[in-house]
Structure 1
């Protein structure tokens, strides 16, 4: 019984304790809720105050902007009013100017006796005349500048092409020297009572010169083909050892065949050296025959290959078809390979020959126009002419050119050395510059200038030369002492 009452008391105490805890928890939550409400109310008030302050600032800023816009609008309206007044004033001035112009025009018409249309026509004619005069002056100046620039550019292109080409400076001769193994062979070549040498000269058409020069004989003939056949014949005779008239004829026929093969090979080598691509076999063979022909001492085949190189380099500088220009320059003298049985000049013959073998019209025209017999109408023809002139006119290319070149150098030195006070004269840079050394005690600075001017004038009057020649007079004074 007592135990039951103790358990009930404990239960009641527990219930009371739980109720107390619930009440305390409820009171704490209420306090916390009240505190949160107060904080929310305060934050809402602060946010409202901040928003009201922001709105007030924005309203103040908008008021200021509106005031500025109003002031700007007032200024714009005042400016528009001012401009309207000025426009009205400008209209009045224009009206006054038109009235003044009309009055002046009427006065001019009364004074000149011309109507407005007649006066306008007169003014137009005067303007046209002045414009034509100015245009003519401008055109003349442009033509002069174009001519000067064209000449300068042409000189640069030709000079560059010539400088880039390394060609031989020697010329052909009419005598071939043949070296023997011993002087005893000379007697066998002459033969009994000279029959071998007579047969050799009769068969080959070449003079065989045997003199006292040890181990040497000379073959002399103006025809280089015959001279080459004779050389090969003599070489074969000495190698064979049997020298008699019948053997000479036999070996000469074989040499003729060998020369033909050499011509074919020379033509093919020339085509490869000139870099012109494929060429008709007949053209190549005919081209090879020029290996044994000369023009003023210059080998014609070498001249053609040299001209092809020069023309190709000039065409490359100008942006023209290089291959076409090279072909034209290589074939321009092919007519010289024809015999006298073909009538006409070598330019016309070569052009017709190239046309028959399928060469282009530009190449044919360049061949027929390279000596001016036909007016050149294409760039290829002009470049072929220029390359031909450069190859044939360079110092050392032809015998006559060498002689005239040497004479010009000698005359340059003679002209400069004839003046008083000149100590030494040097013709330099292939005759393009003359260096004159004067005696300083005889010629002063002013006298040196006079000598340079007189030498230049005399050279221009007496000599013919390409380009220009620089005359440089050097006057040098030296004072030397020795300290002891």
Structure 2
């Protein structure tokens, strides 16, 4: 019985272990199934989250791509617009250069054609001269055979006969020539001067003893002065020009007697303001570069003036001095323009008198060359200019004309007088040099007031810029003889009361009118 109980107990134990193992397996299997389902759910969640992140990343990438594309398109449009603008500017520049080249080539062809024509004429003249000499020699031989006299004997007889005839004719002509010369000289001189003025008129610029540079703002004044004034000191030292920075709004004044240095300082300061980098090293660099550019402009201006006048063979250093006159003014008249005009006027008057036009133009162009350095060398500019002309190989006639155009040296040639006349025409005629309107009107009023102060004057009119005044008198109060005396009295009072260049013509007009009316 006990064995049976033990067996049953053991079977129960084994059965309990088996059930426990089975139950454990069931539990583990259920946990595995739960874990697997949880893993699948997590995987699904992860997939959904990954897809969401991927879509968001794609959208963000598309947004960034669109934004970058928009920025790129905007930059591309700006760049294309700038390139088109530059391309248009370059095309215009190229067209201008082509046009200038065409003009230069056309002028060059014209000059070449004229040179060929002149050479042909010279050959023809030389051929005619040789033919003329041969004919003269042949005539001499025939005359010697006919008259039985040698050439010397025939010449002596002809000279005596011509001398007697010339004395007789000369005695008759001297008085007539003197009278005609007095009548014609003034008329001819006026015609020559009028023709010269009519054929040329120049452009002039206003005189400047200082230059003004406009500033973008008053803050720029402090940058120009620099720390402890180092910038302004560097600029003044580099250019030799004084900078005046005062209360004038947005402006700096450059003061100096050397016009070339003043121009260099003006351009340098404008470039420094535009660049924005203002310090001593930069100032020296800019001033040096601008100096070279201004030198090139000076040389080009001198060459252009010589080309316009057709004057060749001038020394290259003298050309530079001529170009410097572009930056020099005298009584508000640009000296280079004045010199070119004097050259034209002298050449025109020389042509009217049958003189050498090229020589006359050369003298007119160089007459004020001394003004290029008169602020550096002591003495009258006429004598300074003559020394310069002599130094660079100009002929004695040119040197004399330059020295004598203000009578620092007595004039001894027709050319010297022509240069004097052309200089007076260019400088003293109304309109050539700037004059205040008030002074101009005041002078005309003074002329009319002087004329109206005399008894019997009805009206007076100053005309031709004050070069002539016409006085109308009352015929009942002033006779013909008194009109002559009145003109002399007015002239005397004008000379005593006024200061004026040239001369003033006083014309007294007296007329008697008879008026009747026909009635029906």
**TM-score between the two structures when normalised by the length of structure 1:** 0.60
- CA–CA distance in structure 1, aligned partners of residues 458 and 228 of structure 2: 63
Q: List gaps (5 residues or longer) in structure 1.
A: 1-131, 478-484
**2:273 matches 1:238:** yes
**CA offset at residue 234 of structure 1?**
0.6
Task: Report the equivalent of 1:335.
Answer: 370
- Cα distance in 2 for partners of 1:165, 1:356 equals 31
Q: 5 Å matches for 1:221-260?
A: 221-260=256-295
Is the 2:451–2:471 Cα contact (8 Å) retained in structure 1? yes
1:308 is displaced (CA, Å) by 0.3
Partner Cα distance (1:266, 1:382) in 2: 27
Q: What does residue 323 of structure 1 align with?
A: 358
- Aligned partners of 2:456 and 2:477 also within 8 Å: no
Bigger shift: residues 256-265 or 465-474: 465-474
Deviations 1:78-116 (A, max 9, x none): xxxxxxxxxxxxxxxxxxxxxxxxxxxxxxxxxxxxxxx
Q: Report Cα offsets for 1:354-387 as digits up to 9, x if no partner.
A: 3443433432332233233444333322212221
SS of the residue corresponding to residue 372 of structure 1 reads coil
Q: CA deviation at 1:303?
A: 1.8
Cα distance in 2 between the residues matched to 1:203 and 1:186: 18
2-side partners of 1:243 and 1:149: how far apart?
68
Structure 2 residue ranges without an equivalent (≥5): 1-166, 514-520
1:185 is aligned to 2:220: yes
Structural mapping, 1:176-215, within 5 Å: 176-192=211-227, 194-210=229-245, 214-215=249-250
2:201 and 2:341 in contact (8 A); partners too: no
Does residue 347 of structure 2 align to residue 312 of structure 1?
yes
Distance 1:179 1:451, change over 3 A: farther
Distance 1:345 1:371 in 2: 9
- Residues 169 and 410 of structure 1: CA distance in aligned 2, closer, same or farther (over 3 Å): farther
Tell which deviates more after alignment, 400-409 or 350-359: 400-409
On the 8 A contact 2:302/2:323 being kept in 1, the answer is yes
Distance (Å, rounded) in 1 between the aligned partners of 2:221 and 2:376? 39
Q: Which of 357, 365, 371 is equivalent to 2:406?
A: 371
Are residue 139 (structure 1) and residue 171 (structure 2) matched? Answer: no
**Residues 401 and 347 of structure 1, relative CA distance in 2, 3 Å threshold:** farther
Cα deviation for residue 150 of structure 1 reads 1.9
Q: Secondary structure at the match of 2:469?
A: strand
For residues 437-473 of structure 1, what are the alpha-carbon distances to aligned partners after superposition, in whole Å with 9 as ceiling and x for unaligned? 88xxxx6654598689636622344335535524466
Question: What RMSD in Å do the two structures reach over aligned CA positions?
Answer: 3.9
Contact 2:456/2:478 (8 A) holds in 1 = no
Which residue matches 1:120? none
Contact 1:433/1:472 (<8 A) preserved? no
Of 157, 171, 183 in structure 1, the residue corresponding to residue 192 of structure 2 is 157
For the 8 Å contact 1:370–1:384, the answer to whether it is kept is: yes
Q: Structure 1 residues 198, 365: CA separation in 2 closer, same or farther (over 3 Å shift)?
A: closer
Contact 1:435–1:474 (CA under 8 A) maintained in structure 2 = no
1:174 Cα shift? 0.8
- Partners of 2:206 and 2:445 lie apart in 1 by 21
1:133-173 CA distances to partner (integer Å, 9 max, x unpaired)? 99879634522421331222112211221233222355412
Structure with greater Cα Rg? 1
Give the structure 2 partner of residue 61 of structure 1.
none
Local SS of the residue matching 2:462: strand
How many pairs are equivalent? Answer: 343
Displacement of 1:293: 2.6
SS at match of 1:269: helix
Aligned to 1:347: 382
